[in-house]
Structure 1
Amino acid sequence: MKELFDLFMAFCRIGGLTFGGGYAMLPMLEKEVVEEKKWATSEELLDYYAVGQATPGIIAVNTATFVGYKVRGTIGAFFATAGVVFPSFIIIITIATFLKSFSQFEVVQHGLAGIRVAVAVLVLNAIINLWKNSVVDKVGVIIFISTFVFGAFLNISPIFIVLAASILGLLLKYRGEK
């Protein structure tokens, strides 16, 4: 029971203390899941994160579910998922209750602007960490540049980009083994 409570609380902290969604959560996930709790390796976490991006739903919820499942199976997946969702649920209910009355105040508008800047930095940090752990050879660089161009300039759906990159990675891996 203690391990389930630890899963819930760890993901509750991650869900409650990280702003900006799944990308901004990666540094905190790395610290909590890999470094402190040792529930997964850095490579496993990146794999969970990648699959969490490619599957329907919120990246943070999907990643929490994968980690929880690894630690304690289905019940672990439930507790980790509940933990990551719980703070957002409480925060959204609270904000929805009071936002209309406070949104016109200049201090609230400046606070939200500051949060947007901080989130941009957290997302940039997540990109740098993903780059360090994922782009390790020339093929990785080519896949990275291609996916960036296809996504940023050609407006191709991320679903097709992820599928194409996955197929290319598998083909290159298969070709390398022969």
Structure 2
Amino acid sequence: MGKLFNMFWSFFKIGAFTFGGGYAMVPLIEEEIVEKQKWVSKEEFVDIIVLSQSFPGALAVNCSTMVGYKIYGIAGAIVTLLGAILPSFIIMLIVAMYLMKFRNNVYVNAAFKGINSAVPIMVLVAIVSLSKSLSKGTMTFIIMALSLVVLLFFDINPIWVIIVSALFGVLYYGRGEEK
């Protein structure tokens, strides 16, 4: 029971203190489950993030469920899922109850502007952290650069970039060119 509570509390803290959605949560999730708790390795964490992105739903919710399942099966998945979503649920209830009173409060608006300013940096930290575990071959950097250019300068859905990158990966890396 203690391990389940520890899992719940870890994801409750992550859910409670992260603003900005899934990618902003990645550094906190990584710190908690890889560095502090050592529930998964860095490589497993990257795999979990990739799988979490490929399923519908919020990244942090999918990630928490996968980590919980890996550690403690179905009970772990349920506990970590609840830990990840309860803070948002509670915060939304409180906000909904009191929003009209504070909607025009200059301090509340200023606090949210400050939070919004920090979120892109948290996403950047997640990108840097996840890129450390990528293979360091030339082709990896070419795929990254082409993906960036296509996403920034062309009106192409990111799903197509993922599909094309996956197909290229199968064709290139599947031949054993680069291990």
Interval of TM-score (by shorter of Structure 1 and Structure 2):
over 0.9
Contact 1:135–1:144 (Cα < 8 Å) also in 2: no
Greater CA deviation, 162-171 or 63-72?
A: 162-171
AA at the equivalent of 1:96: A
How far apart are the structure 1 equivalents of 2:135 and 2:143? 9
RMSD in angstroms over aligned alpha carbons?
Answer: 1.6
What is the CA-CA distance between 1:78 and the residue it aligns to? 1.0
2:67 alignment counterpart: 67
How far apart are the structure 1 equivalents of 2:76 and 2:171? 34
Moved over 3 A (4+): none
Structure 1 gap segments, 5+ residues each: none
Confirm whether residue 44 of structure 1 aligns to residue 61 of structure 2: no
How far apart are the structure 2 equivalents of 1:136 and 1:26? 21
Query: Helix, strand or coil for the counterpart of 2:132?
Result: helix
1:86 alignment counterpart: 86
Q: How does 1:1-178 map to 2 (within 5 A)?
A: 1-134=1-134, 136-176=136-176
Deviation digits for residues 98-155 of structure 1, max 9, x if unmatched?
1222121111111110000111211111111122222522111111112212222212
Superposition TM-score, scaled by structure 1 size: 0.93
1:39 and 1:10, CA in 2 relative to 1: closer, same or farther beyond 3 A? same
How far apart are the structure 2 equivalents of 1:101 and 1:130? 41
Superposition TM-score, scaled by structure 2 size: 0.93
Same amino acid, percent of matched pairs: 40
Looking at secondary structure, tell me which structure has more helix per residue.
1
Deviation digits for residues 11-46 of structure 1, max 9, x if unmatched?
101111111111111111111101111110111111
